[in-house]
């Protein structure tokens, strides 16, 4: 039995769920927050609140994407789905074939059934060779689905680690996890991934000039787009992808350089953007307008009313903050 996790197995479940939750089972079962059915919360005043669809349902709605703005979650209950194994892993591409492989990824994701989730990461290695990793997670009955065959036949393939394995193994595909170095991420949701945007992403990864770091492309098609948009706070269900500039480095002397790269890359993606940023990837320096856009104006006003009820003093403000009314 599983519930949707993130793209890395070491991601904390509470932050993941309260901020949305995009991962290897998004197409099949929706965001992690879509599978949150109840919670136990301690408010800044020390009040213990239990919330579900029958008991304080407005608070449960706010917790499905509104982040840690209302209290400390001490218990979360998730909807589970039966799943024995998946066909997943990673395809790695390098050099001149990367551009075509990225287009293949885009096209197959657009036409795939809901039994396939797929992510991609554009990067460079120490020799500044362009690279691409595509990570499919297929939960259907075939051992070699057509989408995998298309990816396997794309030019530039240098590594094929796709196989049938357990979901826990799938969660380790992107390991090691976050938090092992210095990070600055900035993302945009986009409705499509046209050739022009692909060219921009490849140019921007070239501007990075060294590993680590990369550009993560997460598919949002499938279940998130058929789930009732009023069931949660997230305002990006109409997007096709979440595209994130992921600056990562170890030397503090390089802070300004890598942060500037992430900001410039996000600015280059912005002409294709819809909604605001993804709460789980947003930095502390994000402006209020971008946080509002992530939820949409109506949802943001509802969230502010919840904030005024449960945290009127804005004690919980070191987050993607929703200010009280």
| CATH class of the structural domain 86-281 | alpha beta
Q: What is the pLDDT of residue 126?
A: 86
Tell me the pairing of strands 241-249 and 72-78.
Answer: unpaired
Q: How far apart are CA 66 and CA 292, in angstroms?
A: 11
- pLDDT of residue 176 exceeding 90, the answer is no
Mean pLDDT value across the chain: 93
Percentage of the chain with pLDDT > 90?
Answer: 83
How many CA atoms lie within 13 Å of 56's alpha carbon, on the beta-carbon side? 16
Backbone angles phi, psi at 157, to 5 degrees: -65, 125
Domain spans of the chain, in order of start: 86-281
Per mean pLDDT, which range of 46-50, 281-285, 304-308 is the poorest?
A: 281-285
- pLDDT of residue 298 exceeding 90, the answer is yes
As a whole number, mean pLDDT of residues 29-34 equals 97
Please, is 321 exposed, middle or buried when counting C-beta atoms within 10 Å of its C-beta (0-12, 13-18, 19+)? middle
Q: Which residue has the tokens 């501007």?
A: 207
Give the pLDDT confidence of 128-166 residue by residue, as tens digits: 899 999 999 999 999 999 999 999 999 999 999 999 999
- pLDDT of residue 178 exceeding 80, the answer is no
pTM of the full structure:
0.94
């Amino acid at each position: 039995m599983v519930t949707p996790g993130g793209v890395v197995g070491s991601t904390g479940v509470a932050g993941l769920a309260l901020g949305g939750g995009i991962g290897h089972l998004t197409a099949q079962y929706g965001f992690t927050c879509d599978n949150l059915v109840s919670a136990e919360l301690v408010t800044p005043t020390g009040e213990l609140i239990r919330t579900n669809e029958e008991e304080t349902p407005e608070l449960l709605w706010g917790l499905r994407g509104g982040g840690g703005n209302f209290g400390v979650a001490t218990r979360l209950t998730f909807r589970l789905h039966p799943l024995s194994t998946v066909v997943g892993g990673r395809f790695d591409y390098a050099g001149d074939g990367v551009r075509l492989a990225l287009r293949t990824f885009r096209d197959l994701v657009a036409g795939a059934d809901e039994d396939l989730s797929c992510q991609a990461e554009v990067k460079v290695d120490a020799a500044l060779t362009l690279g691409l990793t595509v990570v499919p997670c297929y939960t259907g009955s075939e051992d070699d689905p057509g989408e995998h065959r298309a990816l396997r036949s794309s030019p530039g393939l240098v590594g094929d680690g796709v196989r049938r394995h357990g979901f826990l193994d799938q969660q380790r595909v992107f390991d090691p996890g976050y938090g092992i170095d210095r990070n600055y991420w900035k993302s945009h949701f986009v409705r499509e991934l046209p050739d022009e945007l692909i060219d921009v992403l490849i140019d921007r990864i070239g501007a990075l000039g060294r590993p680590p770091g990369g550009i993560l492309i997460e598919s949002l098609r499938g279940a998130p787009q058929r789930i009732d948009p009023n069931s949660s706070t997230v305002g990006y269900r109409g997007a096709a992808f979440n595209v994130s500039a992921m600056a990562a480095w170890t030397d503090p002397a390089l802070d300004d350089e890598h942060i500037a790269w992430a900001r410039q890359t996000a600015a280059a993606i912005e002409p294709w953007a819809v909604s605001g940023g993804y709460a789980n990837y947003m930095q502390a320096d994000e402006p209020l307008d971008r946080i509002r856009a992530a939820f949409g104006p109506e949802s943001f006003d509802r969230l502010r009313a919840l904030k005024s009820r449960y945290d009127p003093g804005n004690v919980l403000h070191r987050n993607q903050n929703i200010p009280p009314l």
